[in-house]
């Protein structure tokens, strides 16, 4: 019970850190753009995690390097495209649409008729959150958020594969290094990061700590103490935390209907997690 009492707040704190970090990151967009911001986050996170975890690279097999590279590709694409999305649309809207990726992945891997209900509920939630009544719907922003969700699904699949053959800390650290290498060409092409100042660097370091280094450590601690089902249900609250973070830090207001849509996506995610885990345990 004591372990669980520690793990649940740790998981919630990890979610708050990630969404708080995204809010700070969005404030850097006018200065260095989304590409420069995500570069700071990923590169500084890679450096921090390497210093903390000290992976034994010389002991890696060819298969480990291959899986880490694919994992890093998913990580880089997911973050880069997501940051480009939140430049155009509110954070809560982007995270809810992005959540379609891992949710639909879970549904695709299931074989129950009830899962169709969860899929429909998620679709309703995603459709409701789009501001149809607005004179301007940023379809590109919505499309980028959805594409980021697809790469989130790739990240989850490859994360599962790489976790089976090596230590989780080594995998994430190496994946971050590969993500840094993949994103640097886009950074050079964009050029905005060359406007870096000490103040911007410190904010970028804060984003790296909040969005990667700290939540990763908290999640690792939580996963050792919580059942996977409980952890997944807690992570399902992420769209709501994103919306709250956008409201508090960025003054991004959502309508009552859009809050209902977030509730639909959370309910679909919890439903999928609970019933799939139940079915798995019965089998």
What percent of the chain shows pLDDT beyond 90?
A: 27
The alpha helices in the chain, defined as continuous H runs, are 2-53, 62-86, 91-98, 100-108, 114-129, 139-165, 168-190, 198-208, 214-223, 228-235, 238-250, 256-282
Calpha distance 202→4 (Å, rounded): 34
Exposure class string for 147-172: b at 16+ Cβ within 10 A, else e: bbbbbbbbbbbbbeebeeebeebbbb
Is residue 240 helix, strand or coil?
A: helix
pLDDT digits (tens, 9 = 90+) for 154-197: 887 887 788 788 887 888 889 999 999 999 999 999 988 888 89
**What separation, in Å, do the N-terminal and C-terminal C-alpha atoms of the chain show?**
27
> Looking at 36-50, 88-102, 190-204, 230-244, which range is the least confident one?
230-244
For residue 118, the model assigns a pLDDT of 73
How long a stretch of residues is the chain?
283
Task: Write the CA distances from 68 to 87, 106, 170, 235, integer angstroms.
Answer: 29, 22, 9, 24
- Tell me the mean pLDDT in the region 238-257: 76
pTM (2 d.p.): 0.81
For residue 198, the model assigns a pLDDT of 92
User: Distance of alpha carbon 118 from its chain centroid, rounded?
Assistant: 21
For residue 279, the model assigns a pLDDT of 42
For residue 32, the model assigns a pLDDT of 92
What is the Cβ-side half-sphere exposure of residue 278, based on CA atoms within 13 angstroms?
9
- Tell me the mean pLDDT in the region 94-116: 74
Please, which pLDDT band fits residue 273 given cuts at 50, 70 and 90? Answer: low
pLDDT at 106 over 80: no
Do 11 and 181 form a contact (C-beta atoms < 8 A)? no
pLDDT at 81 over 90: yes
- Tell me the mean pLDDT in the region 114-132: 73
Q: What is the mean pLDDT of the chain?
A: 81
pLDDT at 255 over 70: yes
Please, which pLDDT band fits residue 278 given cuts at 50, 70 and 90? Answer: very low
CA 254, 257, 263, 265 torsion-angle sign: negative
């Amino acid at each position: 019970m004591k372990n669980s009492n520690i793990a649940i707040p740790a998981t919630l704190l990890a979610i708050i850190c990630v969404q708080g970090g995204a809010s700070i990151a969005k404030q850097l967009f006018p200065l260095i753009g989304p590409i420069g911001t995500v570069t700071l986050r990923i590169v500084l996170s890679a450096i921090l995690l390497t210093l903390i975890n000290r992976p034994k690279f010389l002991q890696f097999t060819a298969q480990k390097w291959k899986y880490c590279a694919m994992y890093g590709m998913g990580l880089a694409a997911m973050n880069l495209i997501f940051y480009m999305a939140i430049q155009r649309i509110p954070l809560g809207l982007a995270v809810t649409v992005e959540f379609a990726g891992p949710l639909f992945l879970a549904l695709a891997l299931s074989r129950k008729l009830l899962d169709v209900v969860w899929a429909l509920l998620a679709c309703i939630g995603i459709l409701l959150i789009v501001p149809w009544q607005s004179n301007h719907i940023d379809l590109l922003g919505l499309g980028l958020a959805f594409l980021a969700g697809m790469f989130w699904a790739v990240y989850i699949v490859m994360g599962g594969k790489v976790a089976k053959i090596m230590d989780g800390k080594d995998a994430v650290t190496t994946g971050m290094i590969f993500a840094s290498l993949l994103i640097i060409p886009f950074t050079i092409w964009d050029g905005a990061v060359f406007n870096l100042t000490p103040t911007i660097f410190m904010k970028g370091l804060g984003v790296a700590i909040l969005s990667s280094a700290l939540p990763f450590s908290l999640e690792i601690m939580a996963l050792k103490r919580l059942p996977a089902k409980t952890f997944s249900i807690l992570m399902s609250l992420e769209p709501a935390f994103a919306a709250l973070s956008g409201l508090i830090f960025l003054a991004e207001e959502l309508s009552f209907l859009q809050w209902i849509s977030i509730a639909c996506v959370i309910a679909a995610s919890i439903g999928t997690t609970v019933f799939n885990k139940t079915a798995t345990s019965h089998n």
